[in-house]
Amino acid sequence: MAETEHGFVRRIGLFQATAINMSQMCGIGPFVTIPLMVAAFGGPQAVIGFVAGAVLALADGLIWAELGASLPGAGGSYVYLRQAFQYRTGRLMPFLFVWTAMLFIPLAMATGVIGFVQYLGFLWPGMTQTQGDLTGLALIAVVVALLWRRVENIARITTVLWAVMLASVLLVIIAAFTHFSPDRAFTYPAHAFALTTNHFWTGFAAGLTIGIYDYGGYNTAAYMGAEIKNPGRTLPRAIVFSIVGIMAIYLLLQVGTLGVVDWQEMLDPNSTAATSVASAVMEKTWGKAAADTVTVLILVTAFASVFTGLLGGSRVPYDAAREKVFFRPFGTLHPRYRFPVLPMVTMGLIGGVGYLIGRHTDLATLIQLLTTVMVIVQALAQIAAVTVLRRRQPALRRPYRMWLYPLPSLVALVGWLVIYGYADRNSPGRHPIEWSLAWVAAGCVAFVLWAAYEKVWPFGPREISEEYLEAAAPVGTDADPDADPGAQEPAPA
């Protein structure tokens, strides 16, 4: 397992990469968002949101698969945007991505901590607001401490957490279908599918936002591209396998839950069905003892999502800092354990602040704010990056080429634009669109100041670096495109 050019070691295989993705995807998300999805749609037709989220995740996942397979570096999106947009805007796009990622990755992690404390309330009904706040902060500190080790040891921990996640979800699904009521699950309110009304499409956009939040994490292993064995083969498979697997789990969980718990109970914010719906399912089916046991497993699952989120996210600023597109101390690895120290600690601190903000507002608003910021700088930019790279670097080695190109890009584009366009309607008074634009504008100002200091474009020459195009296949990657049955020599764009 040879060391890469940036000091990382390729030790993570397909099974571990898929486990990392799935642990991040199926963390606390579905256990806390089923009531939010029901509230968005106004009934059990909320299953539409999970289906729509799966379609968008798969389309976007194929974009990540092509980019990750051909550009397997540390930082994921940072590498893709740097390579694609360097020809016209220098380092602007990768700078904006890192600027934004340092916010949205730890805040997304904070939603997992919120869910952890929310379910802990089922076992600790007398927990006060202050006790909950301190518990969440302590959880973040424990996660940072456990990540303070070699990545191969982390991969083993992640595999165990992934197994616990599967056990918790499967137990809830089995319990739900042993006491399943089709009438409860498939009796819809009047006008549930009134496709010509604004109410339906506003609810659909809100549900799509929640759905893609739940599927978020299928790209976690791509952030660790410099630590993946045979990334041209491993990353596309890990992304597709994790999305398809989680899609099946989510649909069974959603339908099963609606067949046990009356959806109208989920609309009461003070009910167990709203705050810890999986525990409510277990209590109604197998009793209080079973509910307590599964709640403990869900707490472990929530912990796993926070753990893998910080694991992958801490790699994002590392490559940028090494290339002087972010603060230079962020580009230092631990001398013994070979992980980026400052990014991990900083994201842990930001996640703690985000957790406190979310605890004192509401989870749905936090999800909406996170998603709108991510759409501009990451989702839409990567859709463009695939096409730009096919035109600018047609000879780039592509072990995987997107199926049915450009159809997945077009599907992803429509999905992300729907989420962004309806953001203000779904968070009245919170102005997520305005906040996202303000954050990007602040990032542009910061870039101008930084570029002037570093004497780079637009205050210096535009620097073009095509290292993935020019270099031979790195050690630990697929040396021969023909070794991958899905690989082929790229045709001119």
- The yes-or-no verdict on residue 56 having pLDDT over 80 is yes
Distance CA 286, CA 175 (A): 7
Mean pLDDT, residues 245-255: 90
130, 334 Cβ separation under 8 angstroms: no
CA distances to 14, 44, 53, 293, 372 from 418, rounded to whole Å, are 33, 22, 12, 39, 11
> Among 363, 401, 374, which Cα is nearest to 490's?
401
**List of long-range contacts for 5-9, beta carbons under 8 Å, 24+ apart:** 5/474, 6/73, 6/74, 6/226, 6/318, 6/319, 6/322, 7/333, 7/338, 8/74, 8/151, 8/226, 8/227, 8/333, 8/338, 9/151, 9/152, 9/227, 9/338
Mean pLDDT, residues 80-101: 90
pLDDT of the residue at 410: 97
CA distances to 29, 172, 259, 378, 420 from 111, rounded to whole Å, are 8, 21, 26, 19, 20
Token duo for residue 164:
């616990």
| Domains defined for the chain, CATH in brackets | 14-460 (1.20.1740.10)
Q: Is 442 exposed, middle or buried (0-12, 13-18, 19+ CB in 10 A)?
A: exposed
Mean pLDDT, residues 85-89: 91
Lowest-pLDDT choice from 103-112, 411-420, 484-493: 484-493
> Among 389, 368, 67, which Cα is nearest to 231's?
67
34, 257 Cβ separation under 8 angstroms: yes
Which pLDDT band holds residue 484 (cuts at 50, 70, 90)?
Answer: very low
Name the more confident of 4 and 100: 100
Burial string for 321-334 (b: 16+ CB within 10 Å, else e) reads bbbebbbeebbeee
Place of tokens 């049915």: 404
The average confidence (pLDDT) of the chain is 84
Please write the tens of the pLDDT for every residue from 388-431: 999 999 999 999 999 899 999 999 999 999 999 998 888 877 78
Which pLDDT band holds residue 148 (cuts at 50, 70, 90)?
Answer: confident
The secondary structure of the chain in percent helix, strand, coil, rounded to multiples of 5, reads 70, 0, 25
pLDDT of the residue at 110: 87
Lowest-pLDDT choice from 129-138, 250-259, 302-311, 425-434: 302-311
